[in-house]
């Protein structure tokens, strides 16, 4: 039989490769969730009618939303970012009935059972959850998804369609293939949770490194950080070990002439060592985060994204519980790291370094 339509039999590898590209994956899966979880694949006429009744209103009040939309629909709409001025269902519940809901100038519409999602809105929905997606990469992924070359025949498989100048929807063929794999919305939520934790991790790591940089920028360069981590792993004193490794450090790290019992020196070296130790703990934490993400992502991933969806949907090997437990353990470690540096400020560290550098000058003069 001649191969023309997208199918698991012929195109499984193409689908898996596409979903393994995170930029294309986000677009495909968010379009799927909008159609499947928000609009129930157009199977509920009353739901569609109630949605369209809201769209024709000049001003949309909270009371209108509550009157016409079911609770589940409201929760998913908020989670996806359909409302411009509501960030959570808890915030929605706290608003008065006369609070005006903003959907934005362009929003999701339906025409003849065809979903029409504006590209600006789709990007904002995805970027709300995955901050590392740039608009440029999003646009490139949109273009690629409209014309993927079949690996088995000389044809093109569009995974998404552009309806007009700015609206997009998912192809029916791809939608029904994905529908066989389970709870895609749950899989995305787990990935969002992991990504959210990683974003918080990066924020704290960057904060610590910016404080280390105050002591000297060389300390946050890649080769020096590697030496620092090695020193800590081998339980060596950090600065002496770096010097032994032939890393050239600024003069202020030559402490031979300094009285080590001076409070200013002790404070300076203790805070530096604390920051370097915390950075090392984050280095270890980063490897643990990468190991969690390796379940579905990266060069050495354990599962394709389709397999990840299946495992999450049926909690195979307790995958959902295991991920949750690992993230809780990592969160506790991150909280401890943050608490240890909570009293440090850049302003105080800059003043400390100025005082220490004055001490260096005075010691050299003696």
Tell me: do 231 and 341 sit in the same domain: yes
Tell me: do 160 and 216 sit in the same domain: no
Domain of residue 98, residue span: 8-181
- C-alpha dihedral, 340 to 343 to 344 to 350, nearest 10°: -160
Domain boundary among the residues 139, 157, 181 is at 181
Judge whether residue 35 has pLDDT over 60: yes
- Please report whether residue 239 resides in a domain: yes
pLDDT of 143-201, one tens digit each?
A: 999 999 999 999 999 999 999 889 999 999 999 999 999 999 999 999 999 999 999 99
Tell me: do 127 and 217 sit in the same domain: no
Domain boundary among the residues 147, 181, 215 is at 181
CA dist 142 → 31, 123, 145, 223, 344 (Å): 12, 10, 5, 38, 44
Domains contained in the chain, number: 2
- Please report whether residue 209 resides in a domain: yes
Average pLDDT across the chain, whole number: 93
Distance in angstroms (rounded) separating the CA atoms of residues 257 and 343? 30
**pTM recorded for the entire structure:** 0.90
Within 10 angstroms of residue 199's Cβ, the number of other Cβ atoms is 12
Tell me: do 357 and 230 sit in the same domain: yes
- Please report whether residue 267 resides in a domain: yes
Distance in angstroms (rounded) separating the CA atoms of residues 116 and 48? 13
User: Encoding tokens for residue 131?
Assistant: 């901050």
What are the φ/ψ torsions at residue 49 (nearest 5 degrees)?
-65, -40
Q: Helix (H, G, I), strand (E, B), or coil: what is residue 336?
A: helix
Distance in angstroms (rounded) separating the CA atoms of residues 172 and 160? 9
Tell me: do 129 and 198 sit in the same domain: no
């Amino acid at each position: 039989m001649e191969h023309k339509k997208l199918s698991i039999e012929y195109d499984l590898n193409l689908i898996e490769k596409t979903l393994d590209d995170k930029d294309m994956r986000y677009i495909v899966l968010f379009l799927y969730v909008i159609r499947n979880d928000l609009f129930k694949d157009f199977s509920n006429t009353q739901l569609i009618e109630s949605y369209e009744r809201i769209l024709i209103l000049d001003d949309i009040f909270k009371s209108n939303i509550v009157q016409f939309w079911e609770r589940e629909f409201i929760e998913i709409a908020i989670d996806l970012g359909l409302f411009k001025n509501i960030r959570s269902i808890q915030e929605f519940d706290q608003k008065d009935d006369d609070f005006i809901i903003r959907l934005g100038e362009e929003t999701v519409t339906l025409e003849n059972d065809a979903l029409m999602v504006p590209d600006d809105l789709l990007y904002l929905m995805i970027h709300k959850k995955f901050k590392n997606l740039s608009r440029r990469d999003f646009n490139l992924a949109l273009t690629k998804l409209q014309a993927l070359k079949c690996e088995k025949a000389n044809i093109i498989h569009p995974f998404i369609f552009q309806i007009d100048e700015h609206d997009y929807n998912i192809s029916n063929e791809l939608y029904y293939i994905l529908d066989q794999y389970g709870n895609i919305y749950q899989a995305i939520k787990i990935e969002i949770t992991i990504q959210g934790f990683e974003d918080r991790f990066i924020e704290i790591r960057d904060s610590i490194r910016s404080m280390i940089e105050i002591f000297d920028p060389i300390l946050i360069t890649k080769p020096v950080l590697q030496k620092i981590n090695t020193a800590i792993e081998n339980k060596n004193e950090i600065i002496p070990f770096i010097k032994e490794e032939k890393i050239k450090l600024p003069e202020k790290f030559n402490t031979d002439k300094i009285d080590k019992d001076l409070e200013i020196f002790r404070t300076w070296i203790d805070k530096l060592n604390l920051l370097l130790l915390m950075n090392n703990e984050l280095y270890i934490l980063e490897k643990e985060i990468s190991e969690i993400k390796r379940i579905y992502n990266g060069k050495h991933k354990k599962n394709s994204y389709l397999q990840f969806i299946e495992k999450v949907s049926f909690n195979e090997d307790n995958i959902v519980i295991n991920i949750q437990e690992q993230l809780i353990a990592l969160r506790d470690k991150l909280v401890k790291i943050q608490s240890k540096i909570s009293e440090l400020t850049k302003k105080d560290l800059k003043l400390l370094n100025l005082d220490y550098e004055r001490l260096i000058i005075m010691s050299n003069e003696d």
